[in-house]
A and B are shown apart, each in its own frame.
Chain A
Amino acid sequence: MTEDLLTVRGVRKTFEADIAPVRALRGADLTLSRGEFVAVMGPSGCGKSTLLNLIAGLDTADEGTIEVDGEQVTGQSEDELARLRRRHIGVVFQFFNLLEGMSVLENVSLPAIVAGRKRKAAETRGRDLLDLLGLGDKAGAMPGVLSGGQRQRLAIARALANEPTLVLADEPTGALDSEGGLEVLELFRRLHRGGQAILMVTHDDDVAAAAQRITQMRDGRVIDEGRPAASAAVPHEGIIGEVATGP
């Protein structure tokens, strides 16, 4: 039986612009089950990234409801949204958004420290994640010396620091060459195999193919939710199984 981790219902969002308002979302609906890996596809300007930002609570919907793991995202205060993100959401950006002034280990430890863990515990968790993502030897390095693929792997490790129930990835391979892109997609597959729920926005068919389900968006609406997951209960193996018990 499928258990919905994410439910998006009738979400609308309009941005003011110079000439006329831009209606980014016009009643989007979407569901995602626990452990599911969903790719959201669609042409530029169809509202994919806006939808992702609304789910993460980084922007507010004009209408509609969003629920993550039974918790309402819409209508919450900024503080409540911050707590919700710590518990449930890990975000991977297209351009990595690493903190260039901090070391690799500091980057990956930061979310746990934000969540209130002690520095030592957060760094232990960070080292484990770096080891598992193949960046263990780069812990003391600065992000500037990493390759594109390594940088995005670091960003993914950072997103996993608080064991989120849902990883949101916005064009995670958009800034990478093909080798780096494959590296990242392989990592997502491993995460998925480990039971990690992932919602990935992309406009690249090859990237989307890595997902369990592909959802199509156009003109601010989800027009096709795609094939349902064959099974919601993916056995916990791979990377998530390995790091599920953090300090």
Chain B
Amino acid sequence: MSFTRFWWHASIRRRWRSLAGIALLLGIVGGTSLFALAGARRTQSAYPRFLRSSNPSTMAVDLGGRPAADLPAALRRVAQFPEVLSARAYTGFYVGAVVDGQVDLSQEFEALGSVDGRYFDQDIFTPTQGRRPDPTRIDEVAVNEESARRYGYHVGQTLDLATVSEDQLEDPAFLDHPVPRLQIPSRIVGIGLFVEEVVQDDTDRSPLLLLTPAYVARAAQWGTYSWQGLVLRHGDADVAAVKRRFVGLLEAGSPQIFRVTSIDTFHAQQAIRPTAIALSVFGVIAGLAAIVLVGQTLARQVRSQREEHGVLRAMGASPASIAAAAALGPVAAVLVGSVVAVCVAVMASPAMPIGPVRRVEVASGIDVDRTVLGLGGLLLFATLGAVSYLVARRESPYRVQQRAHDARPRTVGLLADVSGRLPLSATTGLRFAFETGAGRTAVPVRSVMAGTTIALASLVAAVTFGASLQHLVSHPRQFGWDWDVALIDSAGYGNTKPEATKALLRSDPDIEAWSGAFFGGDAIDGHNLPLLGMVPGSTVVPPVREGRMILASDEIVLGSATLESLHKHIGDTVTTSSGPLRIVGSATLPTIGQVHGDHTSLGVGGIVETSRLPGYARNRASGNAASQGPGVPADEYGPNVLFVRYRRSANTAAVTARLEGSKDKLSDGGGIMVVPAQRSAEIVNSDDIVISPRLLGGAVAAAALASLAVALTSAVRQRRRDLALLKALGFTRGQLSATVAWQATATMLVGLVVGAPLGVVLGRWLWTRFAGQLDVLSEPVVPVGIIGALALAAVIVANLVSAFPARVARAVPVSMVLRSE
């Protein structure tokens, strides 16, 4: 111990710079790893944390449009359900901004008025700019980010808000001389997000405006519809019971529309997970890079003391004490580096979480994830500490000598064949690349090639994954949209006219086929699920992943996530409110449904025969409510949505334009929306997902190139004697540079030959697993052209990277090196 301490004190003077360098390298690369890993956890947990902070409803029920006088009693009845802990409601208003004395209805935002504190103390609105409105003030409003983006609203702006009533809008004369029921200049005090907007499907994206309870107290009589958010005593377990009680309160034929928060949460978490996974993978790779890079540096550091260790051996130092002396400095550097890594991760933590949840992070700023940082820091220290000791032990003079004795010179057979056909510098470079050498001139050829191969495999895997993801985003069929457009009546609440539909769609030669669907939901095996009601044998249907589409009324097709959560398989039977149904297939479901209501999306939900959908035949489109009323059968009122597929030869834009021109013939009152592919929250978030693998691949490639440069420089230094000899034998400076370039090229080519196919296999496997988790159709794409270009770039960059080691090679002092040998 006394010797080790003495050695430490005596040698630290000379070695502290290199040890500090190692600590710094570990601090930066290891810190990046810990930062990414802690960030992944923070990103993945951000949404649940945000949700908890917003006091979310377990579910929401649609109270529909009812006379204002009836609303308080209806709200009270629901709030008194034994399962309900807390209930808060909002009422929708027709509100427009007054511009130049006219109500500007072109700014179509939906105004949500908090009746009793909803969005203020339950489902709390989160301002990303400004603040929440004062609930007691009638003249303060907030808008969501979509409103601000679409209409250019900003905090502090005053809107002259006009509230109009439903009967005013139905009066044709109103638009000529609009006089609102209520006009209040209101200041936008905040721009932000409603709870369900953080990670959102396309279909839910709409401009919203939040009005205060004070406003609602004044304008209650002009409210149009209401939704009540309910916090349930036992969470999702109470949803089915509440639905039953709620349906029991409804008049016969009234619509039954619900929204269950956990379904949104599932999609949000699904959308965030890829980013978190990508960060985790990045963190792990950065961690491995830290271990490899620092490990190699430590090995070089220990190896550089071989002569000193030989002297110690000659003095009688035992192998154990030499190993301890050799390891002490590196272990100290690793300890300091690990602490620095933790500090770096903590200092960088304000940059997390990333993605859409960043805007609503409830604990932004510095974050100390004790689990990740503690375990990660310990792991870095333990791993690299062990590496230090093992390298020190391996590099003890006795073992070095043994290896030198045992070593046999090896020449790769291929090289013997090509050596006659290639220039001398090429042959020498290839020998340098493939031969490990022995003893003092040993070069870590295998680890360099393994590192290059792993890095290239990671890069190709990232590119393959990214290409498959791009393919998914640009091919809507893969995410359940196996048609060109959907025609939605009255935001999903209205019914299309069957005869008009036939007349219009059949007359267009560019329309290949169409099918209709009703929106709704039911308790499947006790789980509340969004459903599409379709006619068995429909031609335009969501893509079936397994099994087949329904052909009879006692059959059901489910999303794969739903199948998994129900623990069911194709062929099994599930219970519904209308009786048992047999599962005949699994489909990727489109992200579509009634605005504010539950809707199918990817793996969540199912398809049943129309008559199996509770309340399918209850039309609530306002325009027809009076004349034909709720309860009209579906054969007289068409589906809520039409899925329309164009012919392949059709000019998509032209057909869509024609449909836009004549769509209103199909509606029963509320108007038809022609919508292109609607992306789920997971796909909407794909920009982040696509960037992640690219960043990942880029970082890995950079690490690989840095590692190659360091390894080449180290190899050149180790082979100073060979290079000096070559110079003495007449090698020119150009030939020396070419030798190093050939060495780099050969190393890179081996990495490419092994790593590229490995990367393709890995990328396809990762994509298939990822697509399976996302419940989209898995169609992995191999971007051959990009991989080829990457391969070419890799070889070119390897040659560029070899420039510095080549300079070192050219500068080898022949006389000094050969004399000292």
Write the residues of chain A forming the contact surface with B, with a CB cutoff of 8 angstroms: 15-16, 18, 56, 58-59, 78-79, 82-87, 89, 91, 93, 95, 97, 99-103, 106, 109-111, 113-119, 158, 162
Contact = CB atoms under 8 A, between A and B. Distances in A.
A119 B6 contact: yes
A215 to B, nearest CB: 22
Contact of A85 (B14, B310, B316, B408): B316
A152 to B, nearest CB: 14
A111 B315 contact: yes
Contacts of B398: 78
B314 A56 contact: yes
Given A16-B405, A58-B313, A99-B311, A114 B10 contact: no
A98 to B, nearest CB: 8
12 contacts: A58-B401, A82-B319, A91-B314, A99-B308, A99-B311, A101-B13, A106-B6, A114-B3, A114-B312, A114-B317, A114-B321, A117-B2
B755 to A, nearest CB: 32
B307 interface: yes
Given A56-B314, A114-B3, 18 more contacts: A58-B314, A58-B397, A82-B319, A85-B315, A91-B315, A99-B10, A99-B11, A99-B308, A101-B13, A106-B6, A109-B6, A110-B315, A113-B3, A114-B315, A114-B321, A115-B316, A116-B3, A119-B2
A82 B10 contact: no
Contacts of A158: 315
Contact of B319 (A78, A85, A93): A78
Contacts of A118: 2
By size class, the interface of chain B is 20 to 34
B305 to A, nearest CB: 10
A82 B313 contact: yes
Nearest to B12: A101
Interface string B1-17: 01100100011011100
Contacts of A113: 2-3, 6
B318 A78 contact: yes
A53 to B, nearest CB: 9
Nearest to A84: B316
B11 A89 contact: no
B820 interface: yes
B409 interface: yes
B14 A111 contact: no
B2 A86 contact: no
A103 to B, nearest CB: 8
A101 B319 contact: no
A86 B321 CA distance: 13
Interface string B274-299: 00000000000000000000000000
A82 B2 contact: no
B441 to A, nearest CB: 13
B308 A114 contact: no
Given A100-B14, A101-B13, A114-B312, A79 B3 contact: no
A129 B627 CA distance: 118
A9 B418 CA distance: 49
A97 B2 contact: no
Interface in B29-49: none
Given A79-B318, A115-B316, A101 B15 contact: yes
B820 A95 contact: yes
A101 B316 contact: no
B556 to A, nearest CB: 75
A52 B409 CA distance: 26
A16 B315 CA distance: 27
A109 B5 CA distance: 13
Contacts of B408: 16
B311 A97 contact: yes
A66 B807 CA distance: 48
Nearest to B397: A58
A89 to B, nearest CB: 7
A101 B320 CA distance: 22
Given A89-B316, A113-B2, A119-B6, A97 B321 contact: no
B316 A111 contact: yes
Interface string B313-331: 1111111110000000000
B2 A116 contact: yes
A32 to B, nearest CB: 19
A79 B319 contact: yes
A59 B401 contact: yes
A56 B316 CA distance: 10
Contacts of A16: 405, 407-408
A13 to B, nearest CB: 10
A72 to B, nearest CB: 16
A108 B315 CA distance: 11
Interface centre among A86, A95, A99 (most CB of B within 10 A): A99
A118 B3 CA distance: 9
Given A78-B318, A79-B319, A116-B2, A97 B307 contact: yes
A87 B317 CA distance: 11
A85 B319 CA distance: 13
Interface in B473-503: none
A30 to B, nearest CB: 20
A101 B305 CA distance: 11
Contacts of B409: 18
Contacts of B820: 95
Contacts of B10: 99, 101-103, 106, 110
Contacts of A114: 3, 312, 315-317, 321
A163 B312 CA distance: 16
Given A101-B10, A102-B11, A110-B6, A82 B316 contact: yes
Contacts of B15: 101
A58 B308 CA distance: 14
A129 to B, nearest CB: 14
A162 B319 CA distance: 19
A176 to B, nearest CB: 14
Contacts of B307: 97
Contacts of B3: 113-114, 116
B820 to A, nearest CB: 7
List the 4 closest A-B pairs by CB distance, nearest first: A101-B14, A86-B316, A85-B316, A82-B318
A84 B315 CA distance: 10
Interface in B379-419: 397-398, 401, 405, 407-409
A102 B3 CA distance: 14
Nearest to B311: A97
